[in-house]
Amino acid sequence: MRIDGPSWRPEMADGYRLLEQADVIDWPGYEPISRDGTTLSERDDMRSEVFSRGLNARVDGTVRNIEARGFTHAALSFGSRNHTPDVTVSRSMLHNCAVPGYGYGINLYNGTVTSELNYYDATRHAITGFGHPDCGYTCRGDLFGPNAMLTPIDMHNLDENGGEDGDLTAGKFLNTYECTFLARERFATPGWYSRSGCPAIGIRGHPAPGAPGYDTRDCQFVHFEEGDALDQRNVSFPTGWRRSGNEFGGLENWSEGKGAPVNWTGTSPAPSVDRTSGVEKRRASAQAGARCLGAVEAAMRAD
């Protein structure tokens, strides 16, 4: 599989079930779904009416130079219980996929993904992993924008995804190298999430037995402390999680060579998102992504 250059979106992306009560939330996104469902099948039934997905692939391949936006489930989805593809996604913009309960830039059921020099913004999770023992991903040089519904980087455990009770296996690896995270708070959505602190990386268990585990290195976080940026649940932190060379505390005076390459150019990556219109917020986010990717290209040419 090789995909290079298209721009994907559902036919009704901008007007698709937009919230009418935009004045009571921070990000007028997609229609929230009731929390009444308690089982996986009940939740799937509730979300089926707003389901859209850009790509579902179970083979090795590359995806680059695309923009994918407005998908309720996921812009890109890879793997299955019995399929473990190896995929690289690079130099792309994945944004505004933020329906409660779904909402992924990349959904990795199984296999491995390498994410390089991408821009993510306004998702529930920019990248999520299912938690299978063969499930793992590496982010290198990615920029995660200032708008998030939940943690941009996420790895589930098998217990919460229909596996054996108490199985806290959460993938085989999750690496983040030279990435920048700009969301310190998550935006609110009625009936689901209140505005509150938003960790950058969330891992809900421990690595599979004998697996490499998790590595976070030379990243930049707008969060003030490591404990605000990194969140490991159900086990003690940092189980199987290595960290080194990371910087915390804001957007000023970050070191060269840390975080996404866009910061090397002096270009501010953060868009202005103080507009009241949801459409204007989404447009500002996309425009900022285009500027960031242009700066990344310039930095790479300079090298």
Are 81 and 107 in contact by the 8 Å Cβ rule? The answer is no
Q: Is the dihedral of CA 258, 113, 172, 193 positive or negative?
A: positive
How deeply is 185 buried, as exposed, middle or buried, from its count of CB atoms within 10 A (0-12, 13-18, 19+)?
A: middle
Partner residues linked to 153 by β-bridges: 127, 201
pLDDT value at 47 more than 90: no
Mean pLDDT for all residues in the chain: 76
CA–CA distance, 117 with 94 (Å, rounded to integer): 11
- Return the higher-pLDDT residue of 93 and 30: 93
pLDDT in tens, 240-261: 999 999 999 866 666 777 888 7
Q: Which of 44-53, 84-93, 113-122, 160-169 has the lowest mean pLDDT?
A: 44-53
How deeply is 154 buried, as exposed, middle or buried, from its count of CB atoms within 10 A (0-12, 13-18, 19+)?
A: buried
pLDDT above 70: percentage of residues in the chain? 65
pLDDT in tens, 30-43: 444 444 455 556 65
Provide the pLDDT for residue 277: 42
- Return the higher-pLDDT residue of 272 and 99: 99
pLDDT in tens, 260-299: 876 433 333 333 333 334 444 444 544 555 555 455 445 4
Q: Which of 79-88, 143-152, 170-179 has the lowest mean pLDDT?
A: 143-152
SS3 of residue 122 by DSSP? strand
| Backbone conformation region of residue 218, classed left if phi is above 0, alpha if psi is from -120 to 50, else beta | left
So where are the chain's domains? 2-12+31-302
Q: Report which listed range, 42-46, 141-145, 269-273, is most confident.
A: 141-145
- Name the H helices within 67-217: none
pLDDT above 90: percentage of residues in the chain? 41
- Return the higher-pLDDT residue of 190 and 249: 249
